[in-house]
Amino acid sequence: MSKRKLKNAHLPIGECVSQVHQILRERFCRHQLPERPAGLEAQHKHLEELLKRTAVHGESNSVLIVGPRGAGKTTLLRCVLRELSKETEVQKNLLQVHLNGLLQTDDRVALKEITRQLHLENVVGDKVFGSFAENLAFLLEALKKGDRSSSRPVLFVLDEFDLFAHHKNQTLLYNLFDVSQAAQTPIAVVGISCRLDVLELLEKRVKSRFSHRQIHLLSSLTFPQYLDRVRAQLRLPDDFPDGSFAEEWNASVKSLCEDGSVDEVLRRHFHSSTDFRSMHALLMLCLSRVSVAKPAIRPADLLDASRLCSADTKVNMLRGLSVLELCLIIAMKHLNDVYRGEPFNLQMVHNEFKKFLQRKSNSMYNFEHPVVMKAFEHLQQLELIRPVDGSSAKTQREYQLMRLMLDHSQIMEALQKYPQCPTDIKQWAASAFA
């Protein structure tokens, strides 16, 4: 090892940087599973035991993994499966069926997919034959024929489990859970959902058949732990080809995390959300700035990335508008103030705008009515305003009632950032009577 390190000690810097990019990107995009899901040891153990019992002893089980988005539910399951597949006893026996509620939108599709993934005998090539009813009967018959000791256990993974609960009669769930509670082919049903109330979605018969095992991925994270996690995510592994570069990089990461401004940025980020995914998004932005010329992450990069992450999308859109459109937005804001959020139409907005023009007696913004209307339509297309539900269609376009989809703070922020914004408009925005 040390020899190799020595030998590889002087890789060209470009090589090193591209290596860093590759390693870290894989980590951030979740291609690379972590060694162990951090902070989820108990859950990991629970799930692993459960699946092992199905695979080895042929015991049927059902379990739900529940946690907010980005909490690592799928990662946990994948880690467990990776570990299990290392055991030959499991690897040779366990059949896996992966379903996703977003893909298998009804039981018909789901059944076909199950049949296909199990390679039952009514599958030819990639096609599943038979009607819905036949498929169901066939699958149930197949599962019924098996028994605890002789048939291969089947693992059903239902991603977005809550969506399966919306299928008609919950036929699929009932049958899966029923099999898991009967002396048939051993199956393990693992549902993954982010909804905490997922059990309430289940019909009472389905619910009774579910074993009520839930694995909650709710970890309360403190900021130091969060910081550790950031550091661990950025750290290069020990077997990095260029030892000295890795050391340098790790040291720079360490100092980065100790930096005051970085601490502030991360803290802010931590307060806003604690999940992995937003953290990865942030770090990915930093990583993209690492180059041969600058082979480390600097605090400024993190600040920029953070700014980019927390930027308001609507404000960015406003910055691209014409002055006329901006004026209309401001007029709408005033109307909102005056009428306390009541909807408005083009005529009202135009009148408000005209009042402003009269006060200024400035013909600079004297637009024809059709031009104003066009601008108004553009705003609607950008969904900065949207018609009030129900009243649409029949009324003439000028009189169609609209609502502004922006908060005041967003408008003011946009005006601040608007390049060469006329002062009188700024003043008008601040006060209707300016």
Partner 1 sequence: MKSFGRLRVRRFYTWRGNPLSSNRKLRTHEYESLAIRVDGLPRTTVIRTGQHILIEGDDDDNPFAAKVVRLFGDESGQQKKAVVQWYVRVSEVPPSKLKLLGRDPHPREIFFYQGGNCDDEVNAESIIRPVQVKHLDADASFPPSDDGDDDETLYVKLAWDSKVFRILDSALVASPPRHPNPSLPPSPPRSPPAATPASRTSSRCTLPTPDPTVLRRAALGEVRRSRAAASAGKNPAAMEALHSETKLSASKCLSAKRRHGTERTPGVRKKLQLCSPEKTVMVREDALTQLLDEELEKERTLAKRVPSSPARSPTLTHRLTPLRRTNKSLAAQDAVSLKPFVITCRKVPLSEVESPTPTRDNSSSRAATTPCTKEPKPVREPALGDLAEEEAKNSSPPRSSKRKSALKVSYRIRKQLNLMDGQQDLNSDEDDEDEFVPSKELQSSSEEEEAEVVVKKSRVSSAGSRTPRSSTRTPRKTPRKNAPGTPRTPRNATPSIPSRSLPARRPANVLEEARTRLHVSSVPESLPCREQEFQDIYSFVESKITDGTGGCMYISGVPGTGKTATVHEVMRCLQHAADTDEIPPFHFIEINGMKMTDPHQAYVQILQKLTGQKATADHAAALLEKRFSNPAPRKETTVLLVDELDLLWTRKQNVMYNLFNWPTCRHARLVVLTIANTMDLPERVMINRVASRLGLTRMSFQPYTFRQLQQIITSRLNKVKAFEEDALQLVSRKVKPAPSPVPQLLPCVGSLSSLLRQVAALSGDARRCLDICRRATEICELSAAGLVGMSHVMEALDEMFSSAYITAIKCASTQEQLFLRAVIAEFRRLGLEEATFQQVFVQHQALCRVEGLQPVGVSEGLAMCQRLGGCRLLLLESSRLGVLQRVRLNVSQDDVLYALKAD
Site for partner 1 in 290-329 (CB under 8 A): 310-315
Residue position matching structure tokens 């009030």: 388
Q: Which is nearer to partner 1, 145 or 397 (CB)?
A: 145
Range 154-173, binding partner 1 (CB under 8 A)? 154, 169, 171
Cβ of residue 84: shortest distance to partner 1, in angstroms?
14
Counting contacts by CB under 8 A, is residue 107 touching partner 1? yes
Applying CB under 8 A, which of residues 7, 268, 294, 369 lies at the interface with partner 1? Answer: 268
Cβ of residue 71: shortest distance to partner 1, in angstroms?
9
Applying CB under 8 A, which of residues 124, 363, 396, 431 lies at the interface with partner 1? Answer: 124
Cβ of residue 262: shortest distance to partner 1, in angstroms?
15
Range 11-70, binding partner 1 (CB under 8 A)? 45, 49, 56-60, 66, 68-69
What's the order of all strands across the beta sheet hosting 214-216?
A: 95-100, 154-159, 187-193, 61-66, 214-216
Closest CA to 69 of 279, 276, 214, 309: 276
Tell me how far apart the alpha carbons of residues 324 and 367 are, in angstroms, rounded to a whole number: 8
Tell me how far apart the alpha carbons of residues 190 and 94 are, in angstroms, rounded to a whole number: 14
Cβ of residue 7: shortest distance to partner 1, in angstroms?
44
x/- letters, 171..210, toward partner 1 (CB under 8 A): x--xx--x--xxxxxx-------xxxx------xx-xxx-
Sign of dihedral through CA atoms 204, 151, 156, 56? positive
Tell me how far apart the alpha carbons of residues 161 and 100 are, in angstroms, rounded to a whole number: 8
Residue 339 in contact with residue 361, Cβ under 8 Å?
A: no
Q: Which is nearer to partner 1, 17 or 52 (CB)?
A: 52
Cβ of residue 273: shortest distance to partner 1, in angstroms?
5
Q: Which is nearer to partner 1, 255 or 316 (CB)?
A: 316
Q: Which is nearer to partner 1, 216 or 360 (CB)?
A: 216
Angle between helices 243-258 and 223-234 (to 10 degrees): 160
Sign of dihedral through CA atoms 51, 53, 58, 60? negative
The pair of structure tokens assigned to 47 is 């799930």
Range 405-434, binding partner 1 (CB under 8 A)? 405-407, 409-410
